[in-house]
């Protein structure tokens, strides 16, 4: 039954090849997911920084206006609001 053994060997080789190709596809998909996640994190960090910087300045002007509003005349208040 060497023909039968050869057929079983061919079948195992075929299964092993399919398994290797499947593993390669999964690895490729995983690498794509990791890359997409890295890009998403970078974008979120950049957007967060781009929003936080002007908002911090705006918050500072409005906080100063709120703390000093009773000591500021209308022109000074308007100047702070125009900057903010």
User: Can you give the residue range of the structural domain that contains 40?
Assistant: 2-83
User: Could you tell me the CATH number of the domain that includes residue 36?
Assistant: 1.10.287
Q: Give the Cα separation of 19 and 83 in Å (integer).
A: 64
Is it the case that residue 3 has pLDDT exceeding 70?
no
Count of domains for the chain: 1
At 81 the pLDDT is: 81
Phi and psi angles of residue 72, each rounded to the nearest 5 degrees, phi first: -110, 140
Tokens of 8: 């079983």
pLDDT in tens, 19-76: 999 999 999 999 999 999 999 999 999 999 888 888 888 888 888 888 888 888 888 8
> Taking the complete model, does pTM exceed 0.85, yes or no?
no
HEC string of 70-84? CCCCHHHHHHHHHHC
Q: Give the Cα separation of 71 and 77 in Å (integer).
A: 10
Assess contact for 65 and 81: CB atoms under 8 A: yes
């Amino acid at each position: 039954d060497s023909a039968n053994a050869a057929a079983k060997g061919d079948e195992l080789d075929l299964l092993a090849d399919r398994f290797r190709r499947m593993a390669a596809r999964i690895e490729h998909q995983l690498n794509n997911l990791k890359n997409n996640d890295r890009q998403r994190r970078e974008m979120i960090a950049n957007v967060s920084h781009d929003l936080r910087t002007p908002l911090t300045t705006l918050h500072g002007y409005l906080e100063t206006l709120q703390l000093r509003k009773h000591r500021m005349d209308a022109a000074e208040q308007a100047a702070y609001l125009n900057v903010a």
